[in-house]
Amino acid sequence: VTTWFADLAWTGDPDIGVETGVVIETNGQHITKVAPGVSVVPPGARRLAGLTVPGLANAHSHAFHRALRGRTQLAGAGDFWSWRELMYLVAGSLEPDTYYDLARACYAEMALAGITAVGEFHYLHHQKGGVPYADPNAMGRGLMAAAQEAGIRITLLDTCYLRGGFGEPQLDPVQVRFSDGDVDRWALRVAALADGSAASRPTCRIGAAIHSVRAVPEPAITAVADWAAAEDAPLHMHVSEQPGENRDCLAATGRTPTALLAAGGALGRRGTAVHATHVNAADIDALGSSRTAVCFCPTTERDLADGIGPARLLVDAGAVLCLGSDSHAQIDLFEEARAVELDERLATGRRGNLDPHRLMAAAAAGGAASLGWDAGRLEPGRLADFTTIDLQHSVRLAGAGSDPATAVAHAVFAATAGDVAHVVVGGEVIVENGRHVRVHDVPQALATALAALAP
């Protein structure tokens, strides 16, 4: 049993504020006791100075996009589709060893940002030319090993990707690396992945993903949804990130992407719609009434000029909000959380659409639920994943600790990833005083991994 003492802690319940002097006991992977209002640090307790919150969950990641940061900003005028050409250049160059190195460093960057779980939306499965590796899951296993080394949980969302687009059965030379040929072969490969040793680790689990309605035909949407239901596994899908996707889907099927996914059985409590940027009133009702999660990725959505999704309407309809750094233009879930609200203000002309505690809950419990982890709350029985934000040495957060009523609001609206002091995953310290305890030089690890990919 380990005893921790948090000066200030928010347990993750949006209706309960920050408490002072919170003793947390953990045993192995789990929290066994949470007691607020303790005035003396218990002997032998590990001190968590600052504001401790449930571990943040990054519900949407493509680890290899970390190689694009900065590089895509020089391309001048362009849109999502021209950005995708640059992204495909990186995708075309990766091999299991270079991808492992990049993912390990990228996940270590996430750990430093207070992220304790990642949802890796993984579609880079096969060799150049589309031939499977000797182990057809070499890439997926590498990603799980990378997360393990970086000390964070991973839900590997193994992604089905079968065609170039509506009416485009052919894949382009990069996209052939993404495809298993048909959905039955996708399911066989994922079954082999789930049987592997990595998947039995307490910090790894397997989920499924439908890349998009462009890339997965209707019968395969149903097959992937059925697989996820049979396995009780998380099911993620890109939905309506771009108006062009909606137009093509309507022209080809007479339905919106959300309606098509609903008809295929892909919505519901285990489902997460990523982006949901361009959704109409019927789509919002379908996502909300089915209690589907919606994963907003505002730093990516603004980087790619996608647009602003209707966060408040989706939440009011019943959808569960979670957050992702997606293309890793930045890795900072505080920025993602405040961007949801600040973008909504620009779009509506109103302030205070989503309160700070609900935004922090989206970054923690919302993401944990989307990824299938019993985390996101500091309470007995939950996984012992938590993050401590330094309030004493951060110039941005100076004074935030003096008023527990506004401490979470300070964190959501002013903290950065660099303000994270301590990160604990499954009762184990991963980041201490802002330093990763396993990957000792994360910037160097990133630089080395990125240099190996330089064109």
Question: In this structure, which amino acid lies at residue 450?
Answer: L
Whichever of 326 and 341 has its CB closer to Zn ion, that residue is: 326
- x/- site string to Zn ion, residues 100 to 129, per CB under 5 A? ------------------------------
Whichever of 157 and 378 has its CB closer to Zn ion, that residue is: 157
Active-site residue, 236 included: no
- Closest residue to Zn ion, judged by C-beta, is 326
Q: How many residues bind Zn ion (CB under 5 A)?
A: 1
CA dist list (Å): 454 to 82, 142, 422, 451: 19, 20, 33, 5
- Give the nearest distance from C-beta 240 to Zn ion in angstroms: 12
- Give the nearest distance from C-beta 85 to Zn ion in angstroms: 16
Q: Kindly name the residue from 7, 101, 326, 332 that is annotated as catalytic.
A: 326
Query: Of 323-362, which residues contact Zn ion (CB under 5 A)?
Result: 326
- Give the nearest distance from C-beta 92 to Zn ion in angstroms: 18
- Give the nearest distance from C-beta 396 to Zn ion in angstroms: 29
Query: Of 309-328, which residues contact Zn ion (CB under 5 A)?
Result: 326
Whichever of 209 and 389 has its CB closer to Zn ion, that residue is: 209
CA dist list (Å): 446 to 103, 153, 250: 9, 19, 42
- Give the nearest distance from C-beta 219 to Zn ion in angstroms: 23
Active-site residue, 326 included: yes
- Give the nearest distance from C-beta 140 to Zn ion in angstroms: 16
Q: Kindly name the residue from 62, 65, 125, 275 that is annotated as catalytic.
A: 275
Query: Which residues are known to be catalytic?
Result: 275, 326
Contacts to Zn ion by CB under 5 A: 326
